[in-house]
Every structure is written in structure tokens, then in C-alpha cells.
Chain A
């Protein structure tokens, strides 16, 4: 269920009101932009709270095995079965008698891992593709963006199912499959940015100095696109996590005994009437994390360009 849609091309084209303020020599960052942004971000309480929560979640997920009171998430207790929350099991147990609290914490590990890595994959491909297309322009640009359009027209689920079925069901495949869907929008955004930056003086200056295309793209242009890229990345992670949850609903997500929040939530939802704790706790964890990513992303967007006309859903 992918809802991230890019606006049509002409919205992403060079801003008629003028390029973004970027005064400085080629390759150097004007110190005012980032510290300005940072200050604005700090003032946005929601974003700060979101970031703090995410930091805490990441810490918990990262150090999960060494946290005090952590039980083995794979230890089964068939006789106990699904039991409601108690002192021994803070979040209760699932049908195999496994501690639900441990499952939620470890689930966070997997969900965050999937979210971040898949997003990085899409980032890598998208930035490279979009920057190259935007910078080179002309026929190459046309061709590359047409490829993007074509891929955009394929129903996402079909692509992912075939990928997961054609190759293996491993977690690496999951990263690739999810990343392959998200890079399209990223490419479009980056391309739009690059188009507007291409005309600027510092690029001409770099070229005059003899820098080749690749150097110009990666050393000069890409860093200037960072703003929207960062925002979009922050907003992509929750989308990916949600998509993985959806795949788990179909049985294509991470394989047992590993379980992501998506697996926990989609399994628990089926048993809602009988064992509500199996969906409530992972559901809260998932929803809160997604919310915080969204808050953070919105905050970053406001901070990095309060006049930003382009709204990326």
C-alpha cells in the first residue's frame, strides 16, 4: 500500500520565484543555512520530542540483548499459550508462549533495520539516478525519466511479490525489494532540485575550473540537494516500515522466528477478539514510531526551507 506519490513534473521544475538562497563559493557551505535550520528545528517541540523518542527506540533496539529483564524472544512455552500481561510477562505472551515484551523490542530492531536500510538503498539509487538525469539533461534525462514513469505505472505489490518469489525470501531481498520501490520518487525530487541548481554560478565556476561531470554532480550539486533529500528520507522510513507490515500481512515479510512489528501487528490483528494485547502493544510501538518519524520529517521540512513550495506527501 504505497501512498507516497510525487507531484507531476511541472511542479518540480525550477521555481519561478527564484532559486533558493545559497551564497557562497563553490563547494563551501554557507554556515548560516545549516545553523539556521538547526535553530528552527530545535524550536519545534514536536520534532524534538519525536527525535528524542526515536533515539530512545533506537537505543533500546540496538542494545536489546543486554537490557535488564529481557527474555529470550524465541523461548517457547506451549503449555502456557497466550496469556495476558502479568508480572512475569509485561506484555503477555503469544500463542507459542513467547514473551511478548521481548518480541516487541526485538521486533523494533528488525523494523528499524528494514526501514533504514531499504531507505538507504532507495536513497542511493534515487540520488544517483535523479542527479545524473537532471544534470545531463537532454536525451539521457528524457530516457531516464521515462524509465521512472514506466516503473511508476507498475503496481507496486506485483513487483515486490515477483521479486520475493523469483529470488529468495531473505531479509536482504526485502531490503532490495522495498528500496526498489521508493527510489522512484527520490529520483524525481533530486532531478527537480538539480535542474534548478544547474544554472547557478557556482556550478559554472566549478566547470570553469575544469571539474568533470561526476565531480560536479557529487561534490557540488548533491550536497545542495540535501535539504529535500533529508526530508524525504525521514518521511520514507515510516512508509517503508508500513509497507513491510503490509507484506507481513501477505506472508512475504521477514521469516520466522524473526518478527518485525509488522509481523506482530498483522498476526495480532487476526486474533483481536481473543488476545488483544498481542496487537495493542506492538501497534502502539509501531504507530508511535511512525508518528515520530512524521513529526521529525515535518519539522525538518519546516526548518530547512520554511518557504518550501513543494510538498512531498
Chain B
């Protein structure tokens, strides 16, 4: 054989050898942690504190618009909260409303009039004083019909707000917001709203600097133009790249702000974010950015925090499409889902199995019985609907937006329905735009949805199911349900109100178009040298008093890891500890 003929075989051998070598190099370098009861503290990745007092973290997706009046999703909200401060601000641990720009307030006995007193001497970062009229002007800006603010609905409790926004009343002075003088703001509500103070912390209620908007128009949010009244100013913003914040020396409590600045990176890939945390590039990996597959292995790490989050992951059933219009079919579908298997096995315990449509965390609210896995009963219900053993049941499809987790859950449920009910199910995934279009247009059979609480009250999960509500998106309508929700809104006594809401939820579960799957939880990673970030039920994290603790090791050795995590300054008590906080996530 000549050399030329032997060569091709060598070529194959060499190529294969190279390939195998490359593949062998794929062995994981860091195997998952084994469970131990060691007292040795263990942390995920690099724990060297940064040399500067700068907190670096993942902002999530790139914010669409962080002008507070028009901000939409969670990343927008985070930026707004860093730069601006409202009348009240959230307690970093409980999210209860604490004095912010207003240091005290009074509520009239009928619950309709709130009088806020602003702190003396508060200023914008350009030196201009912050006045009550700034708040008035900002809120009216949200309501102005031409501005088409997406969250104008949050100002609905204010008297005449909706009417003005819908152009029923042309005069903005009719809206119940009055600035009596530079430091007093009087807000009149249309109905007593128990959670109003929580709303005043929400980013739609944050003030905007009139003077900057007058001067720069739409470009007022650019670094250099922007003016803020919060603890930080915006120093730099590079698209899809980074946000850099610097401490605001004119902030009224600047003396107690210990960070010199912050850098936020908009990273939407979960693996990337977690990798950056491990490499020590970022100090905080917020909830939702740890891949669910990693979570069982994370539990051994001290810097991993797991807690309850007020959100429910559910499937919405389109009742305009037979046979899903049959209530027995919907019950069968609900009963055939093994939520425990999904949450504990598939999602490795990173979420709670949940059969209700409102989450936990409402003291005094007792949930009605939720769905449990009951295959026999499921089959019964299906038979009662007229499809014994799935005969004659057409193929239905589960629609979800493109994501690993959604797909796995959909595949699991598809198999469950097939095995228990003997029905055919197909899966359709679409990217977010088409997906939302399909859901809104009722072009689906079963669709994956989720809802995160806007404020700490069960109403935020139940009011969206009334007839014709924009967020209903299922075609379901029940007079009785509508009546219950309206009655609850008018009810003043809290215990009775909860009773009515409970009845509403029971009705929703029994007859409604929903299929709850799991209860959200927060899963985040915070470096041990970062102080002042706490796990909260709405995943809101005021960052004003966060600080980098370079002595964290000695402090931990002395007091143990749980201690020294509290804020360093005394908080001023004030304001009723009502319900409701605010968060928004549109995905």
C-alpha cells in the first residue's frame, strides 16, 4: 500500500482521537456538592470582597424605560427604585411602608383622605427643592391621556383619576391630588383602599423632576440629564451592557448611605448570571436567575437564600373552546395533575406544589381547599363530562412561551393527562410576542400563565378574573364571582372582607378557567460580605442601606452567619403597618 492509501485511515483515526480528547475535557470540573452536616461555612464561588464600596449585581433583562411614570417590568422598577424615592419607601425586610420623602402622614377616619407631610429640606440632585407639587405634577403626568402610561391603572383609587385618564373629565384639577403648600400633599380617594400606602411606594407613584423634563424632553433619563431624589444618581448607561450608579450627596439621608456606587448588568441568561456570581464578578444574583436544576445543589451553600414569593404559576383554560367549556372537563384536567411530582421531582423542590390561586403570606386569610392529585376522581369527572376514558375528546394543545422550565413542565403535564385521562395533547411554544398575542386573542386551548402580586393583598390575584378584565384572557365570566369581588371591594371590615374573598377564590377554583401548578419562591445568591439585602415576599430590595462588609469573616466567626445581617441604623417608626407592597413582573 502506498502512503497515499494508508493516509485516509489515519485521517479518520486522528480526527476521532482529537474529538474524543475534546469530549473528555468536558468532564465537569466542579461536581455538585455532597450533603454534609459540616459546621464549616461553604460559599458558592469566590468570596473576596471588592476593593471599592460598589455593589455589582444582575439587573435582569434590559430595562425598557425607567422613567417612573412609564416604567413597565421588574428591571425598570429596580432602576426606578434606586434613583427615585416616593412618599413612602419599603422596609428592607418586611416591605411595610416607611417614611420616605414624607416623614409623617394622617389618614382621615373614613379612609378617604391622606395628608402627607414632606421632610423639610429635601432636594433633587441638582439642588432644586422637592415640593408637594412635584408629586402632584408627576401623578397627573401618569394620568394624562395623551401620555398613554401603561400603569395608569394603579392610580385608580384616587378620586377622578380614572375619569380623567379616560377623558371623561377634561380638567386635571378635578383629580383628588392637592398640594396645599410646598410640603403638604393631600390625596383624596374614591373608595377606602386598605393598601394605598403600599401603592405610594410603587414606581408609578415616584416623583419625576419637572425641571429636567422641561429642559431635555424625552431624553431626560440620560446620564448627564437625569436628576434624581433617591439615594443614587445615574452616572453611566451603556445599552445592554451596564448601568452605573453613584451615591447622591444631596439625598436627605446621604450620611447613612454607605455604598459609593453600584453597577447593574442586564443579563437575562440564567447560566451566565450564575457563572458571573461564582466567578465573583457580581455580588448578588437575584431571584429568578438561578437555574432551577441547580437549586437542589445550592442548598448547601450559605449564600443561597430560598423563601416564599408571592406568585402563582398556573395554566389558563380557554373556556370559549369546546370541550373546555365544560366545567367537569376543567375539573378533570385539574385533578389529573400531580403537582407534587412536578414541584418536588421535576423542579427538585425549588418550588412549592400549589393548588390554589392565591399565594401564602396574607395573615388572616384562610385559603379554600385547593386541588390535589386524584386520578380516580379525575377520570370520574371526565366521564361525567361525557368523555369516558377520553373517548371522543379532541386533541388539545398546551401553549407556552419559549423557556426551558415551561417546556419541561408542559411535557410532564402532557404525559400526566395522557396517562391518567387517555387524551391526546400536543405542545406549542411561541416566543413572547406571538404568545401574548395568542393568549390575548383567545387563540389557545391551555396556556401557561403566571401572576405576581402587585401588593400584599389577595385581591391582586382575584380581581383579574372578573368578566371582561384585561388580564382575564380566558373568556370566563361569572356573575356571582363579579358580585363577590365588588362586595369585597366595598367591605370595610377586614375579617369579613377576607371571608368574601375566600368564597370568591373557592368559586374560581371550582368553576373557573384556572389550573394552578406551583407557588413561586425566591431563590437568590448573595455574597456573605454584602449586608442589607433580605429575602422578601415580593422580591423587592431597597438598596439604600446596603454596605460591603470587609470584616465579614471575623464577624461571622464571632456571632455566627445569621447575625450581623441587620441594617446598621435605627429606623424611624411611623405610618400604619398595613398590607400591600408592589412588584410587577410581566414575564
Contact = CB atoms under 8 A, between A and B. Distances in A.
A complexed with B: yes
A43 interface: yes
B249 interface: no
A96 B346 contact: yes
Contact of B19 (A50, A270, A287): A287
20 contacts: A45-B12, A50-B12, A76-B412, A76-B415, A78-B345, A79-B341, A96-B412, A169-B430, A255-B427, A255-B429, A256-B407, A256-B410, A256-B427, A270-B404, A271-B291, A272-B26, A274-B32, A276-B26, A276-B28, A288-B19
Nearest to B6: A45
A79 B28 contact: no
A207 B402 CA distance: 56
A43 B341 contact: no
Contacts of A291: 15, 19
Interface string A277-296: 00110011001100100010
A81 B429 contact: no
A157 B355 CA distance: 41
Contacts of A78: 341-342, 345-346, 412
B16 to A, nearest CB: 8
A4 B254 CA distance: 59
Contacts of A295: 12
Contact of B28 (A74, A272, A284): A272
A49 B403 CA distance: 39
Contacts of A273: 28-30
Nearest to A94: B408
Nearest to B342: A78
A172 to B, nearest CB: 14
B11 A46 contact: yes
A19 interface: no
Contacts, number: 97
B434 interface: yes
B308 interface: no
B348 A81 contact: yes
Contacts of B7: 45
Interface in A65-106: 74, 76, 78-79, 81-82, 95-96
A79 B23 contact: no
Given A81-B345, A272-B26, 4 more contacts: A96-B408, A251-B402, A274-B297, A280-B23
A46 B407 contact: no
Closest 6 CB pairs of A and B: A45-B8, A251-B402, A78-B345, A46-B8, A45-B9, A78-B341
A60 interface: no
Give the interface residue-count category, chain A. 35 or more
Interface string A126-143: 000000000000000000
A267 B291 CA distance: 12
Contact of A256 (B5, B30, B411): B411
Contact of B9 (A46, A74, A81, A96): A46
B318 interface: no
**In terms of DSSP, what is the predominant structure of the interface of chain A?**
loop
Contacts of A82: 293
Contacts of A279: 26
B429 to A, nearest CB: 6
B166 interface: no
A300 interface: no
A99 to B, nearest CB: 14
Nearest to A165: B434
B271 interface: yes
A228 to B, nearest CB: 22
B522 interface: no
Contacts of B345: 78-79, 81
Nearest to A294: B15
Contacts of B433: 165
B301 interface: no
A50 B8 CA distance: 11
Contacts of A257: 411, 414, 427
Contacts of B12: 45-46, 49-50, 295
A245 to B, nearest CB: 16
Most buried by B among A79, A82, A169: A169
A118 interface: no
B9 A49 contact: yes
A276 B433 CA distance: 33
Contacts of B407: 256
Nearest to A79: B345
Contacts of B294: 274
Nearest to B294: A274
Contacts of A189: none
Nearest to B415: A76
Nearest to B274: A273
Contacts of A287: 19
A43 B411 contact: no
Contacts of A270: 271, 291, 404
A118 B410 CA distance: 28
Interface in B524-570: none
Contacts of A271: 291, 293
Interface in B454-489: none
Nearest to A45: B8
A283 B24 CA distance: 12
